[in-house]
Amino acid sequence: MILIPRMNQVSALVAVLLLALTGAGVTAPPSVLFIGNSFLFGSGSAVRFYRADTVTDLNHEGIGGVPALFESFARQAGLDYDVSLETRGGSGLDFHLGNKLTEIGSRPWDTVVMHGFSLLDADKPGDPAKLIATSKQMADFLRAKNPSINIFLISTWPRADNVYPEKGAWHGQSVEAMTRDVRSAYDQAAKNAGIKSVIPVGESWLRAMQAGVADANPYDGIEAGKLNLWTYDSYHASTHGYYLQALMIFGSLTGKDPRSLGDNECSAFELGMSRAEVKSLQQVAFDQLGATVTAAPKVSAKPVPAARCAGVK
C-alpha cells in the first residue's frame, strides 16, 4: 500500500526545506554601488568591458570597468562583495540625481563610491559649488534608504588635456595645481555632506609621477621606462591609470595593503600588464593610502576562498 502525504504535510515539508536552505548563518555579501561616469567605466581602455559578468550594470550597458577590477581584487583577497554600477559618460552627480534615482534607489546599499564631473562643473570649470551641493543631495537620498550606509567620494585625477593645451581650464598652471583644486573641492563636498572618506586617486597619480613611475606630460612624449596613466586623449585613463584607481578604491574600502595582491595579480595578467608595472603601481597606492587615508570606515565583507586567474603562476 502506497501512502500519499496530505497537502498540508507537503507544504510543511517544503517550508522546512526552504528554511534549511535560507536559514541562520546564510548571509548575503555586502552591496557596493559605484556612481560616476567614464572615469569609472573605463573609457578608452580594455577595462571598459572587463569581466562585465562579475558585476551588475544597473543601466544594462555591459560595463565592467573599475568596479569589476575592484571585485576581482576583493575575490583574490578572499572577500565577497555584491558589486553594482550606475555610470553615464560626461556627467556629474546632477545627472544621476535628475535621471537615475529609480536605479540608484532600487535597494538600500551598504556602501556607495561616487564622484562628479572631472572639471568639477562642465559649465564652470574649477567651480566646486555644484559638486558640493549634489554630493549632499545624493548622500541624503542614499541615507534615507539606509541610515548606516558607508559613502566614499573619489577625488579624480588631473586632466592633461586641460593643463597643457592653450584652451585648457588649468592652462598655465600644472597637474599639481589641478589635483589640489579638485581635492579641495571634494574635501568641501565631503564636509558639507557628512562624508568621512575621500579616496585620493588624483594624488596617487601625482605620487606615481613624482616617484618616476609615470610620465607627467604626454604632450612632450613619454619618457623611457615610465607609464602613461592617460589614454590616447590625455583626458581619460589608460589601463594603468584605471588599475591604479582600482587599487586605491580596494585599499580604501577593505583596509588591505594593495601590495598583498602580489605582482602576479590576475587582472593585471589578463590586461597585459607586466609584473614590474604591477609592483610599482601597488607600491604607489600603498604609499598614498598610508599618507592620506586616516580613520576611514572599512567595509566588512563576506569571507570566501581566495580566487586566482587561470594561467597565472
29-299 is classed CATH 3.40.50.1110: yes
State the pLDDT confidence band at 75, using cuts at 50, 70 and 90.
very high
pLDDT of residue 25: 53
pLDDT(24) > 80? no
pLDDT of residue 27: 85
State the pLDDT confidence band at 293, using cuts at 50, 70 and 90.
low
pLDDT(107) > 90? yes
Phi-psi region at 303: left, alpha or beta (left = phi > 0; alpha = psi -120 to 50) = beta
pLDDT(40) > 60? yes
State the pLDDT confidence band at 300, using cuts at 50, 70 and 90.
confident
pLDDT(14) > 90? no
| CA angle at 258 for the pair 290 and 75, rounded to the nearest 5° | 140
Q: Residue written as cell 552591496? A: 31
Check residues 26 and 306 and name the one with the higher pLDDT: 306
State the pLDDT confidence band at 299, using cuts at 50, 70 and 90.
confident
The average pLDDT across 292-302 equals: 62
pLDDT of residue 189: 98
Please tell me whether residue 251 adopts helix, strand or coil conformation. helix
Q: What is the pTM of this model?
A: 0.89
pLDDT(4) > 70? no
Provide the mean pLDDT of the chain: 91
The average pLDDT across 129-158 equals: 98
State the pLDDT confidence band at 311, using cuts at 50, 70 and 90.
low
**Domain limits, the chain:** 29-299
Q: Residue written as cell 585648457? A: 168
Cell of residue 135, nine digits: 554630493
Nearest to 132 by CA among 87, 88, 184, 180: 184
DSSP class of residue 64 equals -
- In percent, how much of the chain has pLDDT > 70? 87
pLDDT of residue 297: 53
pLDDT tens-digit profile of 169-193?
999 999 999 999 999 999 999 999 9
The kind and range of the H/E element at 287 are helix 275-292
pLDDT(276) > 70? yes
pLDDT(273) > 60? yes
